[in-house]
Chain A
Amino acid sequence: MNLQPLFKPKTMAVIGVSSTNDRHPANVIYNKNAHRYPINVFPVNTRGGVFQNEELITSVSALPQKIDLAVIAVRAEYVPDILAECIKAGVGSAAIISGGFAESGNTEIQDRLVAMAKEADFPFIGPNCLGIYAPAAVDTFFIPSERMLLPDPGNVALISQSGGILVDQMLKFSQEGIGLSMAVSIGNKALINELHLLEYLGNDPKAKVLAFYVEGFGKNEGREFVRAAGACPKPVVVLKAGKSPEGRQAVSSHTASMAGDYDVFSAALSQYGVVEAQNEIELASFCEALSCSARFTGCRVGIVTGSGGHGALAVDACTDHGLAVPSLPVPLQQELREQLSPSARVIASVSNPIDLTGSAGDEDFVVTVRRLSKTPEIDCIIVLMLPYLPGTSSDLGARLSQIYRQEGKPLIAYIPHIEKYGMLIEGFELNNIPVSPSIEGAVLMADAMRRCQRC
């Protein structure tokens, strides 16, 4: 199957565009692609009618250009005929947005689509999905543009069985400043599933981290997926739904998936070095951390903070995640103390966590992070930034990033995500250093950077 027309379409037909209801999913999809993306888009409705002062095209075969992607948003029972017509007309691929297939018990129609597509080697995504979003390339999500917040283009690819979770993650990504290379909603994944996407994205130079929201796999597909993920040179993150018996039931009526035995699922992921996120917060943290290039082996974290409480919470979180926060050798502690400013020197705690206290200034953070970066006893540094300390400035992000660039020791920052701290946050993020809005999140990032290596 050639997936290029699906993910990089130059021409698109939107089938099911309504002449009377401009909120119809097909209309939303047509409008956004026609106005905002570099694609030739054609509106189709087999019943005809007038749309935006022009006659709707009534059949796929009547389209004036060869079509790369047909977006199908008509009622389930009409989909087989439309699909057959697409195949006959030489369309390159389809995204079947419509619901009403296996998830509502209509497996027969869905099976017919799969049989047809397999015979013709025709790729389609869905049904019961949102389809594909790729920055500045294509967007088949039937969500009006003004209601979306799109993340910056970046290197994380998101693949989800649930369209809703996918959109929520995109909102989260845009808020956390995590860059997205592509978002794919695969819905019932009747034909194209996680395995195809793993293979495609493994070879996509734009994607560096592959993140999946999975409800369940088909027979033996989990086995194939983890093996392929293990062999993939890019980190793979998975968030699983349907872990509890109640959750399994919910998953089954959502996308007709068998959620399966969660213990086996989780064990198989870790066996092949796939990073499992426990919830959507972890998923975002892991993606941000892994989209930065720093990795480390070992488990020794150095914590630098301006508040003892932050340090203590971070140590607890590290311990929970199997990361150590070892005391620094005494000579090193003495050396460090001597380098601090007079006001911080007398009250700072320099063991690890290193609490520079509220009296610390930019220079105290800089000398401490530089010294830790040169210390072989520490594998990764977490800086807990308190941007409201009077002695520190917004320059600190860029200054600490400079040390990372020189020394290469993995660095993670915690900064409350508030607009007025934006410059500090950007100082890190523009230098490819992950910033978490929570202490726990910063620790999760450290855990992900370590776990993404196969153990």
Chain B
Amino acid sequence: MLSKEIQTILEDAGKTGWVVEPEAKKLLSLAGLNVPRFTWATGWDQALQFAHAIGYPVAVKVVSPDILHKSDVRGVMVGIDTDEKLSAAFHHFSTLRGFAGMVVEEMVSGVELIIGAKVDYQFGPVILLGIGGTGVEIYKDRCLRMAPLDQKEAETMIKSLKARQLLEGHRGSKPVCVSALTHMLAGFSDLVMQLEDHIESIDLNPVMCSPDTCVIADARIMLHSKHAATAAGREP
């Protein structure tokens, strides 16, 4: 059963057809998945206050129901380490279409993975794990599996990636925390099973995996068309 809070997020997003990043992260965090400390600042004071509270450097991202691919419009900036840079980012974002505020969040690092889900017409909910970041479509190093997944199946997925050496420690780098990753995959797959009737797809990209933990750095939830009031704001 979906909690009341999760249902509210989905209902609110119905108008645009997808869940904007801060709401998506709130939903994921309600489901027990690991996201960075963040705030959705609609005004400048709020942004500044949060940046000071968590300390620089921070990552900032535009929030707009009209912008699905934030990096295409310079809507993502990382390593912001002064008030001036924060202010410049805020002003740039406020000129973008449909501006509805800014995400300010702590910086996270690690190997960039993508964890995705889609509800396939023939096979139902399917989970994807792959090498993430903006190069997802270039490397196409990914593995698909029908949900739900248990921890063991999640491990099988990790092992089947061509670039698994990046995760196991390569040329002196430390291996990432595999248990955090399998835990996240299994938890995510449980959530997807519950959201089956509501969603079309979910992209967690990137998920940052470090030797200590795995954190969802960005997230987008596309709603099933019957739950999306209009397709406005959707890009091809």
Contacts known (A219-B121, A222-B120, A226-B123); A263 close to B144, Cβ less than 8 A? yes
CB-defined contacts of B146 to chain A, threshold 8 Å? 223, 226, 267-268, 271
B124 contact from A223, A263, A265, A271, Cβ within 8 A = A223
- Quick check: is A168 within 8 A (CB to CB) of the other chain? no
Cβ–Cβ contact A258 & B145, under 8 A: no
Given the complex of chains A and B, what is the CA–CA distance between A216 and B122 in angstroms? 8
A62 at interface by CB-CB < 8 Å: no
Instruction: Verify B121–A267 contact, CB threshold 8 A.
Output: no
Determine if B143 is an interface residue (Cβ-Cβ < 8 Å). Answer: yes
Question: B145 near A271 (CB under 8 angstroms)?
Answer: yes
Q: Which residues of A contact B123 (CB under 8 A)?
A: 217, 220, 222-223, 226, 260, 264-265, 268
Query: Which of B118, B120, B145, B146 has the most C-beta atoms of chain A within 10 angstroms of its own C-beta?
Result: B120
- Which residues on B sit within 8 Å (CB–CB) of A226? 123, 146
- Please state if B145 and A267 are interface contacts (CB–CB under 8 Å): yes
A124 to B: closest C-beta gap in Å: 23
* B151-173 Cβ-contact flags toward A at 8 Å (1 or 0): 00000000000000000000000
Chain A residues near B118: list those with CB within 8 A: 264
Bound-state CA distance A104–B124 (Å) is 27
Which chain A residues lie closer than 8 Å to B124 at the CB level? 220, 223
Give bound CA distance, A222 to B145, whole Å: 13
Q: Which chain B residues numbered 102 to 155 have a C-beta less than 8 Å away from chain A?
A: 118, 120-124, 126, 143-146
**Shortest distance from the beta carbon of B142 to any chain A beta carbon, whole Å:** 8
Interface flag for A218 (CB, 8 Å)? yes
In the complex, how many angstroms separate the beta carbon of A217 from the nearest chain B beta carbon?
Answer: 4
Which residue of the partner chain B has the closest CB to A261? Answer: B120
Contact call B145/A260, Cβ cutoff below 8 A: no
CB nearest to A266 among chain B residues: B144
Contact with B along A259-281 (1 / 0, CB 8 A): 01101110110010000000000
Kindly state the separation between the CA atoms of A265 and B121 in the bound complex, as whole angstroms: 11
**A395 at the binding interface (Cβ < 8 Å):** no
Bound together, the chains give a CA A258 to CA B122 distance in angstroms of 9
Q: A265 to B122, Cβ gap below 8 A?
A: yes
Over the window 211-238 of chain A, the binary record of Cβ atoms lying under 8 Å from chain B Cβ atoms (1 yes, 0 no) is 0000011111111001000000000000
A218→B122 contact, CB < 8 A? yes
In the complex, chain A residues whose CB is within 8 Å of the CB of B144: 263-264, 267-268
Chain A residue at smallest Cβ distance from B125: A223
The proximity string for B residues 67-108 relative to A, scoring 1 for CB distances below 8 Å and 0 otherwise, is 000000000000000000000000000000000000000000
**Closest residue on chain A to residue B124 by CB atoms:** A223
User: Is the pair B122, A264 in contact by a Cβ cutoff of 8 Å?
Assistant: yes
- Is the Cβ of B126 less than 8 Å from the Cβ of A260? no
CA gap between A143 and B145 in the complex, in Å: 41
Complex contacts, A264 vs chain B, CB 8 Å: 118, 120, 122-123, 126, 144
Q: How far is the CB of B224 from chain A (nearest CB, A)?
A: 13
Using CB atoms, name the residue of chain A closest to B144.
Answer: A267
Give the shortest distance, in Å, between A166 (CB) and chain B (any CB).
Answer: 21
Closest Cβ neighbor of B127 among chain A residues: A267
Q: Which residues of B contact A221 (CB under 8 A)?
A: 122
Looking at the assembled complex, report how far the CB atom of A190 sits from the nearest CB atom of chain B, in whole angstroms.
17
* Closest Cβ–Cβ distance, residue B181 to chain A (whole Å): 19
A190-216 contact mask (Cβ, 8 Å, vs B): 1 or 0: 000000000000000000000000001
In the assembled complex, the Cα of A344 lies from the Cα of B146 at a distance in Å of 54
In the bound complex, residues from chain A placing their C-beta under 8 Å from that of B126 are 264, 267-268
Chain B proximity mask over A78-97: 1 for CB below 8 Å, otherwise 0: 00000000000000000000
Docked-complex contact B145 and A223, CB < 8 angstroms: no
Whole-angstrom distance between the alpha carbons of A383 and B149 in the complex? 41
Checking A218, A260, A271 against B120 with a beta-carbon cut-off of 8 angstroms, the contacting residue is: A260
CA distance A80 to B104 in the complex (A): 64
CB proximity of B171 to chain A, nearest CB, Å: 26
Inter-chain contact A258/B143, CB cutoff 8 Å: no
Flag if A219 contacts B145 (CB, 8 Å): no
Residues of B with C-beta under 8 A to A218: 122
0/1 interface trace, chain B 207-230, chain A, CB 8 Å (1 if under): 000000000000000000000000
The CA-CA distance from A407 to B118 in the complex, in Å, is 49
Return chain A residues, CB-CB under 8 Å to B145.
267-268, 271
Report the minimum CB–CB distance from B152 to chain A (whole Å).
12
Q: Chain B's nearest CB lies how many Å from the CB of A214?
A: 10
Residues of A within 8 A of B122 (CB): 216-223, 258, 260-261, 264-265
Shortest beta-carbon distance from B203 to chain A in Å = 15
Bound form: Cα–Cα A264–B144 in Å: 7
- In the assembled complex, the CB of A211 is this many whole angstroms from the nearest CB of chain B, namely 19
Q: How far is the CB of A453 from chain B (nearest CB, A)?
A: 15
**Which residues of A pack against B, CB within 8 Å?**
216-223, 226, 258, 260-261, 263-265, 267-268, 271
Task: Give 29 pairs: A residue, B residue, CB < 8 Å, sorted on A.
Answer: A216-B122, A217-B122, A217-B123, A219-B121, A220-B123, A221-B122, A222-B120, A222-B122, A223-B124, A226-B123, A226-B146, A260-B120, A260-B121, A261-B120, A263-B144, A264-B118, A264-B120, A264-B122, A264-B123, A265-B123, A267-B126, A267-B143, A267-B146, A268-B123, A268-B126, A268-B144, A268-B145, A268-B146, A271-B146
CB-based closest 5 A-B pairs: A222-B122, A267-B144, A217-B122, A222-B123, A223-B124
Q: B: which residues have CB within 8 A of A?
A: 118, 120-124, 126, 143-146
Sample of 20 further A-B pairs with CB below 8 A, known A264-B123, A268-B123: A217-B123, A219-B121, A219-B122, A220-B122, A221-B122, A222-B120, A223-B146, A258-B122, A260-B123, A261-B120, A261-B122, A264-B126, A265-B123, A267-B126, A267-B145, A267-B146, A268-B126, A268-B145, A271-B145, A271-B146
